[in-house]
Amino acid sequence: MKDKSIFEIKSLDLFYGNFQALKSINMELAGGEITAFIGPSGCGKSTLLKTLNRMNDLVEGCRITGTVRLMGQDVYGGMDVNLLRRRVGMVFQKPNPFPMSVYDNIAFGPRTHGVKKKSALDSVVEKSLRDAAIWDEVKDRLKKPALALSGGQQQRLCIARALAVGPEVLLMDEPTSALDPISTGKIEELLLQLREEYSIVIVTHNMQQATRVSDRTAFFLLGEVVEYAKTETMFSMPKDKRTEDYITGRFG
Amino acid sequence: MMRSRFDEQLNQLNENLIEMGAMVEDAITKSVKALKERDVEASRKIERDDHLINEKEKEIESLCLKLLLNQQPVARDLRTISTALKMITDIERIGDHAADIAEICVHLPVESHVTDIEPIAAMAKATMRMVRASIEAYVKKDLALAQSVTEMDDEVDELFIAVRQDMIALVHKDPNDGSEAFDIMQIAKYFERIGDHAVNIGEWVVFSITGIHKNTRIL
């Protein structure tokens, strides 16, 4: 998967009613890597993230032209949305566990996709929680309510829940912005481990986070991708003056 | 507006570097004057004052580390601050060499047989020009000026060879002048090293502007 393109986005325009939120986006997201989307609020980075697993489908007045391909398959060309979201999982800014037990949160996805056998569910729950680096903290309280966990634990639980359906890609929309530095550090460590098996796209307002965890960074401004480069290059020698001005805090 | 404090600190960094550069230039000027005049007291003062340059280095180092800690700089800011951290090591070594020259001057014979001190004075002048150009290039972000420092070093190397030939001739003429010739040779070597340190500074200034150090992209 590494070095292969996982998402291919071509001439993508997105409108919310008359407002154009994304303008002529052309980019390839590499597999086995962490890609960071950065930019000021309202620049289109979260909108593009949601476009990758069709989370915008439910937004009224949302219109998309151009193509988004996942491993060569057209995401907007008749692909089963449930299948798409199984392959492309999402983690949100605020941890959002379901009001049920830790176990049931993780088993929810596999059950929806038809897994009924207890041993199979047990195994997927344990693997997902281990992969999300939270197994040791919750293994003795699997039947306890997930909402009783701390914020950082809840967020790792949500990552485990996303992993439970066996995705290829994880989309993360500011996954640590509601967390304290210790929990943030744990999630960042986790991202670097998950990179071995999954491709990750992360929206972040924390530029130090982008430099710490991502392989490539895309800078968005007013619905356009201004610059898309290796993270080290972007943060040491950006090509575009607008990128330089944004990351050095001259605007935004 | 939002980074006015940061910009203020970066200006402060520039001012400090200019000041440190002026301090080493002054030390070089005084060491050549002390050599010409065989002024032992002036030489001793240059040695004593070297700690002021060392303190300036510590002050700039501290400012750079604070900037790294507080501002977590990226892009041009990261290159500017990391370059300053590298530059001050070389500037401090230049100060050391000026003090080394002064130390030799203390022990030189009062009656000199080296009549033509001009090549040494020319080395001092050329190296001072290099130091000034490299720091000015940093402050003004002038790539051509930074790159010119490397070329200026050719003149210093040529002068070093000229001094060496003069000293060999002196010893051939009268082996009793060997000790003085050796001391003058050492002084010339220190100036040649000062030139090399100025070249290092120039190369880091090129990095601060282009992101490329000695033809290699570091990041």
pLDDT tens figures, A59-118: 999 999 999 999 999 999 989 999 999 999 999 999 999 999 999 999 999 999 899 999
Whichever domain contains A124, its CATH number is: 3.40.50.300
Average pLDDT, chain B: 95
For residue A232, is it within any domain?
A: yes
Tell me whether residues A237 and B217 touch, CB distance under 8 A: yes
The distance of A42 to chain B (nearest Cα, Å) reads: 20
The distance of B134 to chain A (nearest Cα, Å) reads: 21
pLDDT on residue B157: 97
Using CB atoms within 10 A of its CB, is residue A158 exposed (0-12), middle (13-18) or buried (19+)?
buried
Residue A92 corresponds to which tokens in the numbers above? Answer: 């949100």
Whole-angstrom distance, CA of residue A18 vs CA of residue A63: 10
- A–B: how many Cβ contacts below 8 A? 38
Taking the Cβ of residue B74 and every Cβ of chain A, the question of whether any pair is shorter than 8 Å is answered with yes
Q: How does residue B94 score in pLDDT terms, banded at 50, 70 and 90? A: very high
pLDDT digits (tens, 9 = 90+) for A119-150: 999 999 999 999 999 999 999 999 999 999 99
Percent of chain B whose predicted confidence (pLDDT) is above 70: 99
pLDDT digits (tens, 9 = 90+) for A156-170: 999 999 999 999 999
Whole-angstrom distance, CA of residue A176 vs CA of residue A152: 8
Amino acid present at A52: L
Least-confidence region, from B1-10, B18-27, B71-80, B188-197: B1-10
Whole-angstrom distance, CA of residue A142 vs CA of residue A181: 26
> Among B85, B10, B207, which residue's Cα sits nearest to residue A250?
B10
Whole-angstrom distance, CA of residue A110 vs CA of residue A125: 9
Contacting residues of B for A238, CB less than 8 Å apart: 75
For residue A252, is it within any domain?
A: no
pLDDT digits (tens, 9 = 90+) for B114-157: 778 899 999 999 999 999 999 999 999 999 999 999 999 999 99
pLDDT on residue B110: 79
Taking the Cβ of residue A241 and every Cβ of chain B, the question of whether any pair is shorter than 8 Å is answered with no
Taking the Cβ of residue B66 and every Cβ of chain A, the question of whether any pair is shorter than 8 Å is answered with no
Whole-angstrom distance, CA of residue B208 vs CA of residue B181: 41
Tell me whether residues A237 and B219 touch, CB distance under 8 A: yes
Which of B5, B9, B74, B219 should one mutate to test binding to chain A, selecting the residue with the greatest count of A CBs within 10 A? B74
pLDDT on residue A12: 98
Taking the Cβ of residue A232 and every Cβ of chain B, the question of whether any pair is shorter than 8 Å is answered with yes
Whole-angstrom distance, CA of residue A153 vs CA of residue A178: 12
Whole-angstrom distance, CA of residue B94 vs CA of residue B100: 10
Whole-angstrom distance, CA of residue A177 vs CA of residue A130: 23
Using CB atoms within 10 A of its CB, is residue A166 exposed (0-12), middle (13-18) or buried (19+)?
middle
Taking the Cβ of residue A7 and every Cβ of chain B, the question of whether any pair is shorter than 8 Å is answered with no
Domain count, chain A: 1
pLDDT digits (tens, 9 = 90+) for A207-241: 999 999 999 999 999 999 999 999 999 999 999 99
Contacting residues of B for A244, CB less than 8 Å apart: 75-76
Residue A146 has what DSSP assignment? G
A176: containing domain: 5-247
- Is the predicted pLDDT of residue A252 greater than 80, yes or no? no
Least-confidence region, from A14-28, B88-102, B113-127, B189-203: B113-127
- Is the predicted pLDDT of residue A251 greater than 90, yes or no? no
pLDDT on residue A44: 96
pLDDT on residue B111: 79
Contacting residues of A for B218, CB less than 8 Å apart: 236
Taking the Cβ of residue B73 and every Cβ of chain A, the question of whether any pair is shorter than 8 Å is answered with yes
Question: What ipTM does the predicted assembly reach?
Answer: 0.84
- Is the predicted pLDDT of residue A2 greater than 80, yes or no? no
> Among A239, A219, A230, which residue's Cα sits nearest to residue A39?
A219
pLDDT on residue B1: 52
pLDDT on residue A96: 95
Which of A248, A250, A251 should one mutate to test binding to chain B, selecting the residue with the greatest count of B CBs within 10 A? A248
Q: What is the pTM of this model?
A: 0.90
Taking the Cβ of residue B1 and every Cβ of chain A, the question of whether any pair is shorter than 8 Å is answered with no
Tell me the CATH number of domain B4-217, given options 3.40.1380.10, 3.10.450.50, 3.30.450.40, 1.20.58.220: 1.20.58.220
Instruction: Name beta bridge partners: A25.
Output: A12
Taking the Cβ of residue B69 and every Cβ of chain A, the question of whether any pair is shorter than 8 Å is answered with no
Amino acid present at A148: A
